[in-house]
Structure formats: C-alpha cells, structure tokens
Structure 1
Amino acid sequence: SGHRVPAAALRLRHVTLLRRLLRRAERGRCVSHRGGSATAYWDSTHKAVLLKEGVLDPQGDAYGYYNDTLSSTGWGVLEIRAGYGQTAEPDDVTMFTAGYLEGFLTAPQIFDHYTNMYPQLIQNPKTLVAVKHFMAKQDEWSRAQVKRNTSDPLWIHTGLILAQLDGLQAGVTDWAKQHGRTFAVQFLNAVGDLLDLIPALVTGGKPGFSQYKAPPMGHCSALIKMLPGFENLLFAHSSWYTYAATMRIYKHWDFRLNEPHTATGKLSFSSYPGFLVSLDDFYLLGSSLMMTQTTNNVFNTSLYSYITHASLFSWQRVRLAHALASTGEQWAKTFSRYNSGTYNNQYMVVDVSKVNLGSSLEDGALTVVEQIPGLVEYSDQTQTLRRGYWPSYNVTFHRKVYDLSGYEQMWKEHGKDFSYDLCPRAKIFRRDQSSVSDLNSLKHIMRYNNYKSDPYSQGDPCKSICCRNDLREHQASPGGCYDTKVTDLHMAQKFVAEAVNGPTTDGGLPVFSWGPFNSTSHQGLPPKYNFSFVLMQPQLFHP
C-alpha cells in the first residue's frame, strides 16, 4: 500500500465519523486486530511510503511490530526502528516513516482510544470549537517557526516531531482507506495539555481561584529510592486518570538521526495508541536519562492568562528535551523554552551517568522541574536522594511555584491535603519507603492501598499511593490509579522495566470490572483487570 504526503493540512473530524470510518475500513479489508509486523520504504520519486506487511526488513526506512496483547497481559507492545535503511534519508523522512508505521500498525487501537477519551474531555460543543481553534493556531504557529528558524536545533527537532505526527496521521489514513482528519491525532497527543487548556479557555484567565473539587484525573504517584549503601537506585511511577484511558501500549523506539545536536533517538516508555509521548510519564532514554512525572493543579486561575497559542505544548517540549539533552539541567533548560502553561507537572530527571553504585551520587543525578503558566522552575535535588528517596504526589515542591499555583491558599482553606509535607501520600511514603529494598517491595508500595485501616487514608480510597475512586461509598467513578511501572539502575541501562495495567487489588481489594460503570465509554478495553506485571524490553535494538 502507499500513501502520498498530504499537500495541505487535513481538516477536522468528530468521534462519530471516526467510528463510521473504522466500520467502513473493517468491511473493506480483513485487518487483524492482533497487530503484526511491517516495513516502510520511502519512495523519494513519488514522495510516498510503500508498506510491506508481515515483513521485518532492517534495510527498510522503518520497520517494526505491534503485539496486540492488551486482553491477555494488559499491554500491547510496539517496537519501531527507523533511519537504518539501505538508503540514507533526511531526518524528516525518517520521522515521517516511523510515524506512518506506528499509525498503520496501531490504527484500530487509535480509533478505540479516541472514542473513549473524547467524551472524557469534550462535553460541550462550545468547548470543542474553542479547542479546535486554539490547536489549529498553535499548529500553524509551530510550523511557521520551523520554517523560519532553520539553524536552531530546537526548531529543527520540532519539525521532526511534527513530521512524525504527520506520518502517524498518514498511516492511520492509509489503514482506513479513507482520508482521515488531523484533529484526532492532535487531540490524543494533547490530552495532557487539554487538562489545563480547557479550563483556561473556559475561564479566559480571569482572576480568582478554581472551586476545588477532588480532581478526577491527571494525578499520579512516583518514587525514586536510593538504597542505604547506594547499592541500587529504584525508579517507579503509578498513573492516576480515568480508567477509560487503559488502552495501553508500551513502546520501544530506535530512531537514527543525523542532526548533530541529537542526544539520543532511543527511548522506551509506557504509552497509549496514537500518542507520540508517554503522558504518564515514564521514560528510559538512550542518553542515560530516566524521566517520570506527576501532575500539579493550577488553583490560581489568573495564571491562565499566560497561555497563548504562540508556544509549544508540554508533550512537544518533553520530546524536544529528550532529543536534545544529555544532562538534567540541559533537559530542564530545553523544556523551559516556549512554555505553553498547559499540562503543569513536576518532572523528575535522573542522570544514570552520575550514579556510582556503592560509591557516590554526583551532583546533577536528580533534577526536579516544575511548570506553571508563566514559569518553569528547576533545581538539583541530588542531596535529597542521597538521604534516601524522592517522592512525588501532586503537590508542588518549589516554594514559588507552590504559592503562585494557589496551594498555599488551598491549604489555608481546606487543610493538610494541600501540604507538601503533610498530605496523606507524603506521610505514607515517609513511613513506608524504608521497607523498599528491591523491585518486589517497590511494586508493593506503588500498588499500596489499605484505605480501610491506614490512619493516614482516613477511610478515603484515594488518600493512598494507588487510588481506587471506584470504591468510594458516594459518587464512585471509574478512575484512579490504574498502572505501575518499575525499574532499577541495571535494568534501565538495558531499556528494561516491568509494568502492570489496571487498578490495584492490594490487600484483597476487588478486581475492577466495567459492569457497574457501563455508561462510561470503554470500547476495546478488557471487561476486568486482573493482570500481573509484564517484563518490557526491546527485541530489535540493544543499548
């Protein structure tokens, strides 16, 4: 099959049209939903991708596989290598073909995931109009900057990320045998950014404080643990969001790029269909960096006035920092440029090259980066890690960010849940992290939820490390902590991790099933979640 690169930007499409497109595609061809392998070749004469299904050809411009094992293990697995072909192609072609291959291999999952995520974020037609307008302007501005700034590595790599996004769209379109629309893949990649962009568009950045409600999604727990004799470093993350988002794909990418400022094109990360980022986040990078993240709230809605389309979304800046940074400080500085003020998170970047097991932690081993609209602040927190551990639980660390975000005000009005030192997860991590000594005990703390007996949980199934919002006595909803990823220093250097999909069953908590929550869109998702940890490691490339 072949796909010509679209000359003009394709327009927008709704979820109902996507469903229709999927049905047409399934009628028109026998497509296996079990994934498969394929190789993409660039036809430079016709500016088109030629695809061979069922073939893994290292001489191709991009080759890889998708194992659709979601229903059996909880995770699909995607691996793609690009830029190693017989013919040396420009970097933008490498990224386009990599995106194309991913779009083609995972198109059914992309349609399902969009179907499930759209109603989670867009409930109001007016919101949809505003979001589409903002995203179209941001896309137009970004592409104009790429054309204008041909010698700046940041904009060169922005162009490469956009080429990958265009390829993703083209691959989905070719799989469906119908012209697709760009909004679906733009929407999916910006899901994190939309958590702030939508309220910003609704409030317009007017002065004031958001009316606090327990956030239904976008919250996570993370732990970085240094063993007492520096014998090992442990690294873990548990995502909190709507359970509708559990269409999971673990991805391994190996892209060879010629751009001289490139730090790495190798990365392994937990992700989702159609996402060119992790979102969780949980990344192992070929630059010797590891990154994870938890989301912070912006209660002070006047900060939203800083949000402009003339910026780069967080998902784009994360990818840029991954591509260009070899140290935590470089990562922070790259990420800080063109701050969109959307998807405001605490990022933790570990530089493995500065960890000398059994000996020392060099300065720069842990860099903590926090973003709010108008400000990105970062600091070296290696000294904290030397003392044993760095926890993260959706309360900002840096004082200026804490105050500007409105956490100080929320603490005064609503109590210790908004205290960096005394919120429930801060206390639980402080109490229990000393028992973490290996991967098994790390898994245990990251899946921990003993809300019925733990005094720090106060009977609330979300005042724990791994929230179960579906178990609330009142106003239960299908959301909370739905995965955990763990690794250690030795594994990370080989791009190896273990991951589990689904809400925790710690201490005998019931397995989650969709039965009581059938009204929430969960197309293509498992009926219940009783999965174990899965070993994730690349098969096509090595460190």
Structure 2
Amino acid sequence: MKIYSQCSLLFILTTVTICETKYGYVTWQENKLTFKDCESASQIPITFGARATFKNEINSTGWAFLEVHTSKDVTDEQQAYAAGFIEGYLTRDLIWMHWQNMLKGWINMLGDLDDLAFSLALPKDLPDGLLFGDHCTGLIKLLPDFTNLYTAHTTWNSYQSMLRLQKMYVLHYKISPLDKKRIPGYKMAFTSYPAFVQYMSALRQSTDDFYIISSGLVAGETTISNSNKTLFDLINPLCVMEYIRGMIANRLAVDGYQWTRIFRQHNSGTYNNQWYIVDYNKFTPTSKGCKGKAEKGLLWVLEQLPGYTETADLTEQLVNTTYFPSYNIPYFPTIFNLSGGNVRVATFGDWFGYKTNPRANILKEKQAGITNLRDMFNTMRYNDFKHDPLSRCACVPPYSACNAIAARNDLNPANGTFPFRALGHRSHGGTDAKVTSWHLRNNYEFVAVSGPTFNISRGIPPFAWSEFDMGPHLPHIGHPDLWAFQPIIHHWEWA
C-alpha cells in the first residue's frame, strides 16, 4: 500500500496497487488495424496509432482506471477507431457486467432517451423522474482570500450503476479537415461508466458530466426537472442529442462563453441540465502577498429546456457570495417557471423551491465553513439526515436521507410514510464525490471516492449489498459487497 499526500490536501489518501495493469496498442498499415496487448508500457512501439493502460481496482478502491492516447501522425478517423477499439477490448469484462446491471437498452443515449420516449408517447401522468430530477449535486467554491478555487460534483444514481471508471483521453483531433490545428480540448480526465461512447467514436463522453479539460475548463452539470407537458412537443429527435453537443463543446471551446454558444446549437430538448463551466484560465490564486483575482468569464452557467436555453456569466455573483451550488433546480427564473417550477411548489411545497429546497440550505450552510480541500470533500459527502434540522420533512420518521448533499435513500425505512417517492426507500443515492482545485486540475487530477457516503458515528453505515433488503432482487454483477472505500487521487501514467 502506498500513501500519498498532496499540497493543500489535509487528509490521507490511499491508493492500493495490488491489481494487474493491462496494456495494449494499435498500429495502422495501409488502413488495416492491428491490435496487440502487452505486459508493460515499454513494449509499446513509438509508431502506435493508439495506446492504452487499464487497471480494475473496483474491489480495492471502488474504481477502475483507463488511459487512452492516440498518435497525431494518423488521421482523426483512425484515431477515433483505434481508441474505441482498444478501450472496448481492455474493458470488455466491465462492459458486459454493466450491461447486465443497467443498460439492456440504448447505452449512450441513456440520458436523452427518457425524454425522447416520453415525448413520442405522452402518457397521462408524469413519471417520477420528470417531477423529481434528483440526479447529482454540484458546487463551485471560491475561497474568500482567493487562495484556491474548487469545483466538485457528486453523482446521484441507482446503486446498480456503481461499476465506475476514471478515464483519461489524449486524442489529437484537428479542428476541421480545413483547419489542421489541434482541438483545444484534446486532453480530458473524467469519471464514467463502462461502454459509454467507445466503439469507433470520436466523441468520448461521461454521463456523470464532470470533465477536466486541456483548454483550462472544468465542466459539470446536474439534471433539472421538466414537468411542463407542453414543452415535450418541442423535442426534436432530428436535432443533436445532448451527449453529442456536450462533448463537442468540451472539445472545441476555448472559454466558457464559447462553450455555451456551441452547446446551445441544435438543441434536442432531451436530458435537460444545468451546466456550470469554470474557466481556470481566468483565476489567479493569491500568492506571496499578491492578491488573487477572478476575471470576467470565470463562471458561465447554462440551462436547457426543449426549445429554450439560457446562459449567463455569473463570475460577479461567485465573487460576491464565494460559491455557486447546483442541485437539480433551475437558477434562471424563466427556466424555473417554464419547466413548471411554480406549479411544483404550489403542489408539493418548498422542497421544489430554488431557495427553499433542503439541499439549497444545506449547501449554503456548509460552504461557509470550507477553508481547504478536506472541507470541500467532506461537504460533497455530507449527510446527517437523522440530526440535521434541514433534513427534516413531513414524513414518518420525520426526516429523509434524500435531504442531503449525498443522498442515502436505501436508509429510508421501507415502511415509512413520505409525501412523494423521491424521499422514500429506494436503490438510489450519492454514488461518488469528485473535487478538483487550482493545483490538482493542472495534472488532470481530482480527489475521488466511489460508493454511497457513510459516517458510522452519525448512524450512517457503509452500504453493503448483503445488508440491503432490495439486494437479492437487483443485478450488481462485479460489485464488491461492502462499499467502504477511502478517497484517492489517481496519478495518470502518461499524462
């Protein structure tokens, strides 16, 4: 076991290195691809078309790790094909397991497909997923003395989804056939799942949507609800799906403004999210007595609905309040109203209000105490639902483990009484946390933990499939039983 410490990181991170590392490479000759796997990086020739390294540490750290590099000496099409081939080969076991657990349908359109299917066969009643878009928590925190800027994301998902990958892609694509300059976002680190946009694809996406990009941008999102049925008439399946537009923006944009301009084109109206784009090029940290600064354009926010998007530079607000939270409720009043927010508040109460939702108040309270990376990480894992007054609800018992930055809905009693399903007992919660900083993002690194949050001293045990009443009825092939992993920083081998 190796112990690593990171500057400004005030807690110990462990990286277990007992798993075999796999290597592979692809070469091209007269448009014919040849793939070989090997035992070490030293066996990869300098004439590779693509090379990759893969390690499955899911049973020891909660993560698998994949790093893919392509050669600038082959065409974009050959790079894309080779990268997809090599990733598919090295991660094939995880792909099969994740398919069995989650994805017996359309893999890469997972986010878009729900909205698309709903618009094509409009049912009488709205599905819970459209009313309660509780899918992830995001937070940007600017320290008041400008010594650091943190960007973070906690995925909320079903527990069956917890076969997780950290990925690094270095793809030397060109701007266009006529412009041979390398794209700004040629290098990218992110968290993801097996099988997402791999085979012969030029895009590469996450679905978590937390990206550290060579352009200096860090992009993240949380899903927003749309309960306005009339908007589904505006969904256009002939437009460009969200996952494609997101990755094109990540690849081509040089700043937050350009990212939003690219993303909002050809809006499909599916997988509607609130995106936050942090441009670290526009942040200078305080050092050696020199006051740091935040330039205009540091933080751009975009929200999407069918037929409508809204964007704004919220740098001034970030500087004034020192934080920007993201918790599945639209920030822009027009988006809030158009998506049915006022109706949801009138029908279900303050849980649906932008400023009155429990997560809104918990994030506001907790961000004020953040002074370092440890505080930021602990905030993204926060759940004290049995003791925190902000987690209380008109429920029996009088609280919900959903009312937290990192939900643990498995801990809500199956025989409890809750005003709506989102607050009740289900296989769902915060399944990870990722935090990057001014220093970490320079190396495409982030503090990360996999699995639902736990705090034994506060009555929150680690999640275990063998202790979960729904466990025998839910597929979780390839999962460890006990999810009690510690945070890690993964150091990329070739980046």
Q: Is 1:468 aligned with 2:468?
A: no
Supply the AA of the counterpart residue of 2:447: E
Report Cα offsets for 1:85-142 as digits up to 9, x if no partner: xxx22111111111111111101111111111136xx6xxxxxxxxxxxxxxxxxxxx
2:396 matched residue in structure 1: none
Matches of 2:489 and 2:147 in 1, distance apart?
A: 22
2:289 matched residue in structure 1: none
1:423 matched residue in structure 2: 357
Contact preservation (8 Å) 1:498, 1:535: yes
Report the Cα offset of residue 199 of structure 1: 2.5
Which runs of at least 4 in structure 1 moved beyond 6 Å after TM superposition?
Answer: 213-217
Query: Given the alignment, which residue of 503, 507, 511 partners 2:462?
Result: 511
SS at match of 1:299: coil
Q: Is 1:531 aligned with 2:485?
A: yes
Q: Is 1:60 aligned with 2:48?
A: yes
Q: How does 1:459-498 map to 2 (within 5 A)?
A: 459-474=399-414, 476-498=425-447
Query: Given the alignment, which residue of 27, 42, 61 partners 1:73?
Result: 61
Q: Is 1:93 aligned with 2:78?
A: yes
Report the Cα offset of residue 323 of structure 1: 0.9
Contact preservation (8 Å) 1:217, 1:241: no
1:142 matched residue in structure 2: none
Report the Cα offset of residue 212 of structure 1: 5.1
Query: Given the alignment, which residue of 362, 368, 388 partners 1:454?
Result: 388
1:252 matched residue in structure 2: 168
2:309 matched residue in structure 1: 376
Report the Cα offset of residue 51 of structure 1: 3.1
Query: Given the alignment, which residue of 330, 335, 338 partners 2:263?
Result: 335
SS at match of 2:184: coil
Query: Given the alignment, which residue of 299, 307, 310 partners 2:227?
Result: 299
Q: Is 1:269 aligned with 2:190?
A: yes
2:116 matched residue in structure 1: 197
Supply the AA of the counterpart residue of 2:306: P
Question: Which sits farther off after the overlay, 466-475 or 496-505?
Answer: 466-475
Higher share of residues assigned helix: 1
Supply the AA of the counterpart residue of 1:323: R
Matches of 1:510 and 1:530 in 2, distance apart?
A: 9
Matches of 2:296 and 2:116 in 1, distance apart?
A: 35
Matches of 2:20 and 2:100 in 1, distance apart?
A: 19
Contact preservation (8 Å) 1:217, 1:479: no
Matches of 1:530 and 1:466 in 2, distance apart?
A: 15
The alpha-carbon distance between structure 1 residues 482 and 341, as it changes in their structure 2 partners (threshold 3 A), is: same
Matches of 1:257 and 1:339 in 2, distance apart?
A: 24
Contact preservation (8 Å) 1:496, 1:537: yes
Contact preservation (8 Å) 2:134, 2:328: no
TM-score, normalised relative to structure 2: 0.84
Aligned-pair identity in percent equals: 33
SS at match of 1:188: coil
How many residue pairs get matched? 436
Report the Cα offset of residue 307 of structure 1: 1.6
Matches of 1:249 and 1:293 in 2, distance apart?
A: 18
Matches of 1:462 and 1:214 in 2, distance apart?
A: 17
Contact preservation (8 Å) 1:56, 1:64: no
CA RMSD between the two structures: 1.9
SS at match of 1:118: coil
Report the Cα offset of residue 274 of structure 1: 1.0
Supply the AA of the counterpart residue of 1:473: P
Supply the AA of the counterpart residue of 1:189: N
1:105 matched residue in structure 2: 90
SS at match of 1:431: helix
Q: Is 1:42 aligned with 2:28?
A: yes
Report the Cα offset of residue 296 of structure 1: 0.6
Matches of 1:457 and 1:344 in 2, distance apart?
A: 26
